[in-house]
Amino acid sequence: MQQIRLAALVVAAAAVVAFAGVGRPDSAGGAAKPSGGITVTGTGTIASVPDEASFTVGVQTQGSTARDALASNSEQMQRVIEAIRSAGVAKDDVKTQDLSVSANYSEENRIDGYTANNSVLVAIHGLSSAGKMLDAASNAGANQVYGPTFSRGDEDKLETKALREAFADANKKAEALATAAGVSLGRVTAITEGFSGGAEPYYASDLRLAKSDAPIEPGTEQTGATVSVTFAIG
């Protein structure tokens, strides 16, 4: 009986040794390919001159009563809006942004009149008309002007171009790493778009609007994109 058990153990041990080499080509001298791929980050930046702007144009008035302050404000604001429209701004590009009436208090904490505010957000397509609009609004009684906020009408196209440049930058970096490592670059296995902060205006140039009493300097703005790309190792 002991001899039979010993023979069985010998057979089992031989089977373990036989299967130990299955699935391991490197034991026969074959080298395993590297795995995991190469992951790099690429950036792209497109510089452009803004061709659109938005302004907040408003009127602030005072009155002994809330009704008086609001009535005076409404009459003056209507003239401002008409002047803006006459300067060539489309109706859809003028939008009421704020309308409010608040009490004024004296040092004795008593109501001492009222203040009414009314403002509109004005979108300008083509910066050459911005100065004309501002002058017209001011002459009509606007006493509050904020802006401009610059932008591009083709921002989507600029973002697409920036993404393409970012991918090209990532591909260039990956090729350099593959060459340094002595491997070949395979197909793309993953792409992640990063956040680059969007367009950031800076005023490096001096592009003043001709024939305008309100000079505007749009400068240039940067549209950026960042992508993280993983390439397989061929």
Question: Looking at 15-19, 154-158, 193-197, which range is the least confident one?
Answer: 15-19
Q: Which is higher by pLDDT, 151 or 94?
A: 94
Q: What residues does 220 pair with on adjacent strands?
A: 202
pLDDT of 28 strictly over 60 = no
Contact 155/111 with Cβ under 8 angstroms? no
| Burial of 1 (C-beta count, 10 Å sphere; 0-12/13-18/19+) | exposed
**pTM for this model (two decimals):** 0.62
Domains within the chain, CATH numbers bracketed: 33-49+155-233 (3.30.110.170), 53-149 (3.30.70.2970)
**pLDDT value of residue 196:** 53
Per-residue confidence band for 222, with pLDDT thresholds at 50, 70 and 90:
confident
Average pLDDT over residues 152-180: 94
Per-residue confidence band for 29, with pLDDT thresholds at 50, 70 and 90:
very low
Q: Which is higher by pLDDT, 229 or 7?
A: 229
**pLDDT value of residue 9:** 35
Contact 169/50 with Cβ under 8 angstroms? no
Average pLDDT over all residues of the chain: 81
Cα 84 from Cα 55, distance rounded (Å): 11
**pLDDT value of residue 35:** 58
Question: Looking at 4-13, 75-84, 137-146, which range is the least confident one?
Answer: 4-13
DSSP 209-233: PTT-SS-----EEEEEEEEEEEEEE
Quote the percentage of the chain above a pLDDT of 90. Answer: 65
